[in-house]
Chain A
Amino acid sequence: MIIQYTLYLKNLKLFEALYDAEGKSLTRLIDSIREAVSKGGEPFEQLHALIDRHRTSS
């Protein structure tokens, strides 16, 4: 069943992009994701907004 794989592999490229934006620091990545998802809403959408903010500020 495909779902048993996709559960663990969704949007890995998005996480990679955020990881790069955070200087390849896992600590900073986790902190920034924690802050982004604390606002509520769909977490992947919050991460897309976060990466957009990174792109506009750089």
Chain B
Amino acid sequence: MRAGYEEGKILWRREPITDFLEKPGIVADTKEKLGLVLAVRDYADKTLKMNVGGSYSSYSYVDRPALTYILTAVPKTELKPYTWWFLFVGRVPYKGYFSIEDANRAAAELQREGYDTVIRTTAAFSTLGWFDDPLLSHLLRYDQVTLANVIFHELLHNTLYVKGSAEFNESLANFVGGHAAIDFFRDKFGEGSAEHQRAVLAWQDELEFADFLEGVTNTLNTLYARNIPLEDKLRLREQVFAQSKSEWASRLADPQSYRFRNFLTNRLTTR
């Protein structure tokens, strides 16, 4: 009920970006980013042949510190997430809440059942083409490369979505978002332009972190499969987490790397 109300509010507040841009007093950075959004949308439609519909042709102000709170849960010694089932998307390894109190209550319940939980915020989501998703005001805090990447990512969900296969959908959208941003900035500003280079570097960071993470998950899967007491697994995994953070911190010493810094600060387990 709350979700329907909040989604309705977002849709009700939509106004065409072209109209919004004509209002007096819009700051230059906002104008520039909204113009970029329309250009990204056009590129996704005409060049990439994505299912754009009316998405991202409108803007909606969100009067909340975070759009939604996304809860994820996983058994303490297994890398297989808890899943929820929803009508249109099938089984997914996360659940969104519009209230942090509701998210905390659900997380506490899962923790009592023995799960690690994490709650994160998100600034964008896709209704998979069911509605014309507006650009939400939260997204304007991103730099241009990230903003373009997110829009391509969400539009890919409108274009291709396999019900009940969240890892596939999100990883494909991530891949397309990263590469579409590279192509878009190359075509818009030129090969080797500052924007194009930033998009290329962002994707290289993505690949490097994915490679690093594969090593971490292999180590954890090996540990979790060992025939040792649960207490030992829990103790040893803390060592894996600490070593992983240390290794990633040393890689971030490279001044070009700027993404995934939150791996160092995020808690990897709940107590």
A30 touches B176 (CB 8 A): yes
Total contacting residues, chain B, CB less than 8 A: 45
Total contacting residues, chain A, CB less than 8 A: 26
- 8 A-B pairs with CB atoms under 8 Å apart are A2-B74, A3-B81, A6-B213, A7-B81, A7-B170, A9-B171, A9-B206, A43-B168
Label chain A's interface by main secondary structure. helix
B74 is contacted by which of A1, A13, A15, A43 (Cβ under 8 Å)?
A1
Distance in Å: Cβ of B200 to nearest Cβ of chain A: 13
Interface residues of A (CB under 8 A from B): 1-13, 15-16, 19, 26-27, 29-30, 33-34, 37, 42-44
A43 touches B162 (CB 8 A): yes
Interface residues of B (CB under 8 A from A): 47-50, 72, 74, 79, 81, 93-94, 116-118, 120, 156, 159-160, 162, 165-168, 170-172, 174-176, 179-180, 183, 206-207, 209-210, 213, 216-217, 220, 260, 263, 266-269
8 tightest A-B CB contacts, nearest first: A9-B210, A15-B175, A43-B168, A1-B118, A10-B171, A8-B174, A10-B167, A12-B210
